């Protein structure tokens, strides 16, 4: 969901920047069509969720099959949502309506928020419908008398913080800085030097991202007690010293963990209350070992470098082939403003393909390496192996989050594949060395490619 939301937000803002500042006719007709498209997305979500929730309540033992069908419906809803947003933004010239017809082109952040409405509003209303399925899942998983469920508004607030806060706050911060620079330093924008302002802002957002997670997710410190003592002792054994372990209070609706922070004063481990409810202390220790593996192998840095790789390669190409870049720029100028939106969407599509087919597989390799670190450094209880403890933790997460054992996400391989690779590498020292060596070479190559603009610049002197 984060990937789709990021691309949808960027596409909406890109369409706005490429739109001419000319009013559109038929405002009320366009508003009615936009409302109908957004209502269609919400109706699809309500029907899908209502049908699944009723079936879960009537046939709880068949929950796994029902949730697989529901997962397919969620994927279809994702396509419906993106299609409706695209039809409104591009087909109805939504950005022109907001900026030209309503005269909000210079309104600080107001125009961007209204432009994002076709993306955000149907998504939030769909979450309100999906609440019924998550509620039915919780009731089907245990005794209804023992299950405490958050209300729908709490559920919406949780999703808004988890998705919209993490995605929108950095994006809107960059937009706000750009708007401020346009008002206070217009010469920088006119001369194409807005990077002098935007790049430091982007670096600050990346560095301070853990603080954003603290503020947006509103986590609280893990309370003193046996569990905290166990995890802190295990962190020392892993060679991992975060500033703190924070707990997301989600009413048990989310079972997940993450680590954020490039430097120790800003490094936190975040775990959800659902994770603490679902896993025993040994399994939580295994999850902590996985997060420690990300830090020990510098995965946070590698992921950021991989995100910047397309931009770095573009800068390298411009320096190595300046004449080609100049010809391309001249060709775009000849096409005029009408080419801005198609070219921008083409570039955004290329970025999406890179994220799915390059960044995603790279991230899955890093997840495998973190799995291996956890199992290598875990001290399992008597009678259980490290892979059994780690596999039990992953299995419970898969069950709690409603994904199949074979199902994978954008950045994570499926449970069966992760455990199969773990057993193979732990049982074959030569294969493990090859795997680790391959990732080291991959990381070194990534660093070299990110530094390629500086190398190309030196060669061009």
Structure-model confidence comparison of residues 367 and 274, the more confident one = 367
- Residues 365 and 436 sit within 8 Å (Cβ to Cβ): no
Per the listing, tokens 């969620």 go with 74
Half-sphere exposure of 25 (CA within 13 A, CB side): 0
Strand spans (E) along 233-356: 244-248, 257-260, 268-272
Q: For residue 298, report the phi and psi dihedrals to the nearest 5 degrees.
A: 60, 40
Checking if the pLDDT of 311 tops 80, the result is: yes
Rounded to whole angstroms, how far apart are CA atoms 171 and 350? Answer: 20
Q: What pLDDT was estimated at residue 151?
A: 80
Rounded to whole angstroms, how far apart are CA atoms 294 and 284? Answer: 16
Q: What pLDDT was estimated at residue 413?
A: 85
Q: Structure tokens of 203?
A: 């670096």
Average pLDDT rounded to a whole number, residues 128-133: 90
Q: What pLDDT was estimated at residue 138?
A: 74
Checking if the pLDDT of 405 tops 60, the result is: no
Q: What pLDDT was estimated at residue 336?
A: 54
Structure pTM?
Answer: 0.82
Rounded to whole angstroms, how far apart are CA atoms 61 and 66? Answer: 10
Classify the phi-psi angles of 261: left when phi > 0, otherwise alpha if psi is within -120 to 50, otherwise beta.
left
Band the pLDDT of 203: cuts 50, 70, 90. confident
Band the pLDDT of 230: cuts 50, 70, 90. very high
Calculate the CA dihedral of residues 225, 231, 233, 234 and round it to 10 degrees. 160
Give the relative orientation of helices 152-159 and 117-141 as an angle to the nearest 10 degrees: 120
Average pLDDT rounded to a whole number, residues 117-139: 89
Average pLDDT rounded to a whole number, residues 300-318: 87
Convert 13-35 to b/e letters by CB count within 10 Å (16 or more is b).
bbbbebbeeeebeeeeebeeebe
DSSP character for 357?
I
Which residues fall within 8 angstroms of residue 80, CB to CB, at 6 or more apart? 40, 41, 44
Give the relative orientation of helices 340-354 and 2-18 as an angle to the nearest 10 degrees: 160
Q: Structure tokens of 116?
A: 């994002």
Checking if the pLDDT of 144 tops 80, the result is: no
Checking if the pLDDT of 33 tops 90, the result is: yes
The domains of the chain are located at 2-150, 282-301+358-460
Strand spans (E) along 74-201: none
Structure-model confidence comparison of residues 157 and 387, the more confident one = 387
Band the pLDDT of 316: cuts 50, 70, 90. confident
Rounded to whole angstroms, how far apart are CA atoms 422 and 320? Answer: 42
DSSP character for 356?
I
pLDDT tens for 338-360 read 555 676 677 778 888 888 899 99
| Angstrom distances, CA of residue 401 to CA of 71, 112, 169, 249, 262 | 11, 33, 26, 16, 28
Q: What pLDDT was estimated at residue 124?
A: 93
Q: What percent of the chain has pLDDT over 90?
A: 34
Q: What pLDDT was estimated at residue 191?
A: 57
Query: Mean pLDDT across the chain, nearest whole number?
Result: 83
What is the separation of C-alpha 429 from the centre of its chain, rounded to a whole number of angstroms? 34
Checking if the pLDDT of 77 tops 70, the result is: yes
DSSP character for 91?
I
């Amino acid at each position: 969901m984060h990937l789709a939301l990021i691309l949808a937000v960027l596409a909406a803002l890109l369409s706005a920047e490429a739109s001419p500042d000319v009013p559109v006719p038929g405002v009320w007709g366009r508003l009615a069509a936009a409302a109908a498209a957004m209502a269609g997305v919400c109706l699809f979500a309500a029907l899908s969720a209502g049908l699944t929730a009723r079936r879960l309540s009537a046939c709880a033992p068949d929950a796994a099959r029902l949730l697989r069908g529901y997962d397919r419906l969620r994927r279809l809803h994702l396509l419906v949502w993106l299609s409706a947003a695209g039809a409104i933004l591009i087909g109805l010239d939504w950005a022109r309506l907001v900026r030209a017809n309503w005269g909000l082109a210079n309104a600080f952040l107001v125009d961007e928020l209204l432009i994002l409405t076709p993306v955000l509003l149907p998504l939030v209303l769909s979450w309100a419908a999906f609440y019924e399925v998550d509620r039915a899942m919780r009731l089907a998983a245990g005794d209804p008398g023992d299950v405490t469920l958050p209300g729908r508004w709490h559920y919406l607030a949780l999703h808004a913080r988890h998705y919209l806060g993490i995605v929108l706050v950095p994006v809107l911060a960059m937009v706000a800085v750009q708007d401020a620079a346009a008002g206070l330093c217009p010469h920088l924008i006119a001369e194409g030097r807005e990077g002098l302002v935007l790049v430091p802002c982007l670096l600050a957002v990346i560095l301070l991202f853990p603080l954003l997670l603290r503020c947006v997710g509103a986590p609280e410190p893990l309370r003193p007690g046996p569990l905290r003592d166990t995890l802190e002792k295990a962190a020392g054994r892993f060679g991992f010293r975060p500033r703190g372990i924070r707990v997301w209070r989600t009413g048990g609706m989310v079972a997940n963990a993450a680590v954020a922070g490039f430097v120790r004063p800003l490094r936190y481990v975040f775990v959800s209350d659902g994770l603490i409810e679902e896993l025993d202390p040994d399994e939580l220790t295994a999850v902590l070992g996985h997060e420690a593996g990300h830090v020990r192998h510098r995965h946070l840095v590698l992921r950021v470098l991989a995100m910047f790789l397309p931009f770095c390669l573009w800068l390298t190409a411009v320096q190595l082939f300046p004449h080609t870049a100049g010809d391309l720029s001249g060709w775009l100028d000849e096409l005029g403003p009408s080419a801005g939106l198609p070219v921008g969407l083409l570039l955004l599509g290329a970025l999406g393909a890179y994220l799915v087919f390059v960044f995603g597989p790279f991230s899955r390799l890093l997840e495998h390496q973190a799995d291996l670190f956890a199992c290598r450094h875990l001290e399992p209880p008597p009678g259980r192996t490290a892979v059994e403890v780690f596999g039990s933790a992953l299995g419970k997460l898969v069950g709690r989050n409603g994904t199949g054992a074979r199902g994978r996400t954008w950045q994570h391989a499926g449970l069966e594949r992760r455990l199969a690779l773990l057993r193979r590498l732990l049982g074959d020292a030569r294969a493990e060395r090859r795997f680790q060596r391959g990732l080291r070479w991959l990381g070194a190559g990534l660093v070299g490619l990110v530094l390629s603009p500086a190398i190309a610049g030196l060669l061009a002197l």
